[in-house]
Amino acid sequence: MGAPSVDATDWPAPNWPQPWYAPFCADGAAVRQACEAGVPLPQALTHRAVQGPRFIPQAELPAGVAYEAHIYDTGTVPTREGLHDFFNGLCWMRFPLTKRRLNQLQATEIAAAGVGQVRGPVRDGLTLFDENAALLQAPDALWDALVARDWTRLFVELRPLWAQARLVLFGHALLEKLVVPYKSITAHVVREPVPLALGDDLAAWDGWLAGRLSAAELATKPFTPLPVLGVPGWCPANEDPTYYADAGVFRPKRVVA
C-alpha cells in the first residue's frame, strides 16, 4: 500500500460526536481509520467515495496546471496528506453535485482569464464558498435576526426556534478549524434559506444548491456571518446569555452612512 507522507496519527483527531461533524462522521471515521492503518489519504478517500471523483496524490498534478482546471479536465482531485484535504474529500462525498458545480465555475473562470495574481470577484466568491460556507434551514424569524446580526434576538429571545433549524457546514477549511474549536470561528452562511420542504435529506440539499449556483451571484459574495459556536447545542458555554455579549465575536451590523 505504501506509507503516507504524513502519519495520520499525527493529525489532530476530529471529535466526531460534535454536532458540526454529524453529516461527515461515518465517512470521516472510516477514512481516518484506513489512514491510521497505513493507507494513503487519496486512496482511502477513493475507496470510501460512493460517487466520484477519484482522489490522487498531489504529486500527480502536472507542473503548471491549475488545480481546479485539472479536476475539471480529468475528474481527479489532487490531494495532500493532512486535515485540510481530508475534509475537502469528505465534502466531495457529502455534496458531490455542488462540488462539481463549483469546480465547473472555477474552471470556466480560469479558461476565460487564466490564473493570474488576482482571482477576481467570481473566483473570490467561489473560494470563500468552498472554504467557509454553511447552509441554514430555519424559520423566517431566525433568518431575519441573523441577517440583521441581532445576536441577542437570534440566540437568546428566539432560542426555542433553533429546535426547528438545521445548520450544515460546507466549507472544508471551516470544518478543519473546528477540530480545535475557539469562540470566534465564523461561517459564511449562504443567504438563501434551504427550503423547509427538503427536510434533513442532504442529498436533496446538494441537488438544490448545485442547481442554483451561478457565477453572477457568487461574485456578489451572497453570505452573512455566523459565529458557529453561538448556535444552541454547539457549545455548553452559550447556555449563559452573557456569552453573546462579546462584541469582538458577535459584532453588530455596520451602519452605512
pLDDT in tens, 190-225: 999 999 999 999 999 999 999 999 999 999 999 999
Per-residue pLDDT tens digits for 161-173 = 999 999 999 999 9
Q: Render pLDDT for 45-55 as a digit per residue (tens, 0 to 9).
A: 999 998 779 99
Contact (CB, 8 A) for 170 and 93: no
Distance CA 22, CA 169 (A): 10
Measured CA to CA, the distance from residue 199 to residue 228 in angstroms comes to 21
State the pLDDT at residue 2: 41
CB atoms within 10 A of CB 123: 21
Residue 52 has what pLDDT?
74
List the grid coordinates of 23.
Answer: 453529516
- At 77, is the secondary structure helix, strand, or coil? strand
Q: Under DSSP, is residue 105 helix (H, G, I), strand (E, B) or coil?
A: helix
Average pLDDT over residues 24-30: 97
pLDDT class of 253 with cuts at 50, 70, 90: confident
pLDDT of 5-15, one tens digit each? Answer: 456 668 888 99
pLDDT attached to residue 85? 97
For residue 95 the three cell numbers come to 455534496
What is d(CA 110, CA 95) in angstroms, rounded to the nearest whole number? 22
List % helix, strand, coil for the chain (3-state, nearest 5): 55, 10, 35
